[in-house]
Chain A
Amino acid sequence: MTGIVEAEGVTKRYGEVLGLNGFSATFPPGITGLVGPNGAGKSTFFRLLAGQLRCDAGKLTLLGNPAWGQGEFRRRVGYCPEGAALFDWMTGEDFVTTLLRVDGFSRAEAVERARRAIASVGLTDASRRRIQVYSKGMRQRIKLAQCIAHDPALVLLDEPLNGVDPAGRASLSALMRKLSAEGHHVIVSSHVLYEVERLTDQIVMIANGRTIAEGDLHRIRELIDERPHVIDITTPDPRGLARLLGDWDHVVSIEFRGPDHLRALTKSPDAFYAALPGLVVAESIAVLEVHSADDNLDAVFRYLSEGTR
């Protein structure tokens, strides 16, 4: 499949520090989440896409064009950077209108598009105020408005929900889904994994500047089934319980984490959970709490990123 954005072995260095280290991924049409912790290389990747930085090695294309360079194809790309910097002395409407004018739109069309984009991010009431009085959430919204105002085919959103209140997150998430439904392709980054999980199943996971997994979220989850799952158990008799768990084939290791706490690693969490209640009853061992750290995407990410270190 040809991707909207394709990265092949992209490397970007900042002196001796590697921002991206042979990053390869294909971003398909629709919404794709770029997920990784702070410092993983997400913003570096977006800056490469936006033409702010140049790859030191590898190949990066968006909409079939090399990412480094200007040209008409930039009109088909919208970029919402992560930083909060804006032209603070302008009003929101002035800001969006001016950038549309830079892109070559006539004054009338620029004003009309700016107002429409500002309305779509729910900022109409504040559009005539100077950006310097905007809250962090409002600044995110006006950045998003400038990003979509020219109706780009590809929308690049670097941590767009940062600093936005819960209601704002819901509305901006809805806007991203709407953009996708209207045929725009969206690449959205976040270090807050559940946000991306709620937006899309298409995920590219990045850590230490490398791709650690990409594809459908459910397929990514399957990847970690090949790895032991962590289950934390609180019990007044961790040694007694450890002896019993040690007899199970799918338990690969047991670790004592405190006087009443042990951690079991199992290759088969389903079998573990099915058998544990029977064991507890049969052996009369008190189990106060069972907790799996693997129930969310954070765990998927943690497991997969371990492999890149």
Chain B
Amino acid sequence: MNGGVNGLGTVTWLSLRGSLRGGRLAGLAGFALVPAVIVGAIAITHPAAASLSSTAENLFALLTLPIVVMVIMLVLSVGQFRTEIDAETLVYLTDRSVKRATIVVGKYLGSLTAALVLVIPATILPLAVASLAGGISYPVAVPLTAASAAILAAVGYGGFFLLLGLVSRSALLIGLLYGFLWEELLPLLPGDVPRFTVIFYLRSFLSWELSSGPLSGFSKVVSLAASVATPIGLGAASVVLGAIVLGYLETAPERVTG
């Protein structure tokens, strides 16, 4: 038996399937479509091509990347452990011979894959709508860079929120506070403070990759390598930390009877 690979693959597949189902999938898919719907609405009311082009790109920088992607990652990642601990379904995995670290990695990969199914369309569709409605021809670099930034965001936020779901019973609330206060307000502060946010590096990545347009105007004070490595590093570090935490974590609900 090729236990380790089977175990990782199965946990990943289980997590992916569990993430993409029922009402949650419908809700997240609807949320992912919001930027495209906004662009479509603007296309109907203000069909001027130049305005539509910049609107679609601005929406990516202001709505899709910091809010839509972040919320999708929060919902999918936090639930990977917190929901299962509370529902007592995690025991079906932890009482098996598969290592707990494998469970963490599998759940991360599964939720990340599920998220990308939603995040990439959320990134590409508004640009596609603008392109179709306004007859705009974006350079290939624009959707590619936007999608890459969204993937980097998913990698970083996904790992962080997965870890949050492991260590806190209030992970969803803390995640929302982090997303809407920390990630939104700190970039507005002067000096080096914005460096403590993920969005700072994602925006820097956009500026490094694109030479013109609304997505190219962000700060480039950190290198391209740092812009890419920071979200990936955050995701990887969170997963490693999560594996260590789960190794020591009691996974039964707080008070049990019987």
Residues on A lying within 8 angstroms of B by beta carbon are 14-15, 17, 19, 38-44, 47, 50-54, 70-75, 77, 79, 81-83, 85-87, 89, 98-99, 101-106, 146, 158-159, 189
Contacts and interface: CB of A to CB of B under 8 A. Distances in A.
Interface in B1-38: 1-4, 6-7, 9-11, 13-14, 17-18, 21-22
A77 B258 CA distance: 21
Contacts of B250: 52-54
B254 A14 contact: yes
B88 A104 contact: no
A86 B6 CA distance: 21
Contacts, number: 107
B93 A102 contact: yes
Contacts of B3: 103-104
Nearest to A105: B1
A43 B257 contact: yes
Given A17-B255, A51-B94, A85-B89, 20 more contacts: A40-B258, A42-B258, A43-B258, A70-B97, A70-B98, A70-B100, A75-B97, A81-B91, A82-B258, A83-B88, A87-B14, A99-B96, A102-B6, A102-B10, A102-B96, A103-B7, A104-B1, A104-B7, A104-B98, A146-B92
Contacts of B91: 47, 50, 52, 79, 81
A39 to B, nearest CB: 5
B108 to A, nearest CB: 16
30 contacts: A14-B254, A15-B255, A41-B258, A43-B258, A44-B256, A44-B258, A47-B91, A50-B95, A52-B91, A52-B94, A52-B250, A53-B252, A70-B94, A72-B97, A74-B96, A79-B91, A85-B88, A86-B89, A87-B18, A87-B92, A89-B22, A98-B14, A99-B96, A101-B6, A102-B7, A102-B96, A103-B96, A104-B3, A106-B6, A146-B92
A228 B88 CA distance: 44
Interface residues of B, number: 36
A52 B97 contact: no
B148 interface: no
Contacts of A105: 1, 6
Nearest to B246: A70
A85 B87 contact: yes
B220 interface: no
B251 interface: yes
A82 B2 CA distance: 31
Nearest to B106: A102
A70 B89 contact: no
B39 to A, nearest CB: 33
B97 A104 contact: yes
**Best-buried of A15, A47, A53, A146 by chain B (most CB within 10 Å):** A47
Contacts of B88: 81, 83, 85
Nearest to A14: B255
Nearest to A73: B97
A52 B254 contact: no
Nearest to B85: A52
A146 B1 CA distance: 19
A83 B10 CA distance: 23
